[in-house]
Amino acid sequence: MIYNKFGQKDWETSILGMGCMRLPVFDEESKNIDEKRAIEMIRHAIDNGINYIDTAWPYHGGNSEGLVGKALQDGYRKKVKLATKLPVWKVENIEDCEYYLDQQLERLQTDHINLYLLHALSEDRWETCKNINIMEWMEEKKAEGKINNIGFSFHDDYDLFEEIIDFYDWDFCQIQYNYLDTEFQAGKKGLKYANDKDIAVVVMEPLRGGTLAQTPPKEVKDILEQSSNDRNAVEWSLQWLWNQEEIDVVLSGMSTMKQLKENIELASQADQNQLNEKEMEIISEARDKFLDIFPVACTGCNYCVPCPEGVAIPNLFELYNEAKIYDRYEVNKKRYLNFFDESALADNCIECGQCEEACPQSLDIIDHLKDVSAYFVESTTPPESN
């Protein structure tokens, strides 16, 4: 495993972090973590050099932190830097902050959290944080030893990112970043801005919810094959990130032991100069082509579910994206019509907007669901792909 100095700290973190939002589950139900396999994976990660473990209050329907707490018993806690996040959308006052932190310490079976983040900051959530003087409270918790480093994760526009960065002397931040999302949210500009301020940067969604882990569509694959080096989709995506010196940790939400072992192997061979100038140009061309044909920028984070009407939002978007990108209209139409409960289908949406408020990608989910329904139900022949 290769390690980076974490920002301006006097300690190092593995360049690959273990994200605990996509642990193995039973029956494709996010709340039902396969505890045995998940603990085995987390401990295998640590045994093989990963020392950054990331979780959060809402992951796996609220069950991720408790699982991580179990996995870090038997001496594993002292081997890692543990990160979790305050669910700021649930916070109205400092008493709420106290409640959630105390609950998280109990769930995680620890007396301190190494890296504590304000979770998924957006404009309205940031206003709440400022109104209740949350940074003063965070400083108090740091002085008490309950948290060691203060950071935030981010899902909004660049201008707000810069405002938040300038507001406080942060230890670190966490941003969505991959070779498709260079101009999305904080983006490349935010990465460099944080780095220039000596703030450590942790990257989430390096594979864009698994999209960049799949064999790319032919148009993209043909571009990547211009390189003389034979890399699979995951290697292209992760090495593109590790090529950038501003990034301290790349978080990957791995769901299987196979994925974990593959990523550990890649992290052990990574190099900031492994992709040459020509290959960086190839990635840029591949990005442009991917964005041309990509219909819904859903990462499958599941923040939008459960839908009050039972619509299976991320599953439907995955089916839709796959059908359009990989020309699988007939197969996926059958899956749409036969393998989902009627309540889970797109036309069951009542346009309440709850999903759009929760979506960190700020997707127009209601409109996209209408597109899904039109694509699979209303059309009798395959619509033209993007």
Q: Under DSSP, is residue 120 helix (H, G, I), strand (E, B) or coil?
A: strand
Question: Catalytic: 59?
Answer: yes
Q: Under DSSP, is residue 135 helix (H, G, I), strand (E, B) or coil?
A: helix
Residue with tokens 């989902």: 340
| Backbone torsion region of residue 166, taken as left when φ is above 0, otherwise alpha when ψ lies between -120 and 50, otherwise beta | alpha
DSSP 57: T
Residue 69's identity, in one-letter code, is G
Structure tokens at 313: 């939002």
Q: Under DSSP, is residue 78 helix (H, G, I), strand (E, B) or coil?
A: helix
Structure tokens at 377: 């139900």
Q: Of 172, 115, 168, nearest to 141 (Cα)?
A: 115
Structure tokens at 283: 């990635």
| Active-site entry in 59, 179, 303, 336 | 59
CA angle, residues 356, 357, 360, in degrees to nearest 5: 80
Is there a contact between 85 and 153 (Cβ–Cβ < 8 Å)?
yes
| Calpha distance 84→56 (Å, rounded) | 5
Please identify every residue annotated as catalytic. Answer: 59
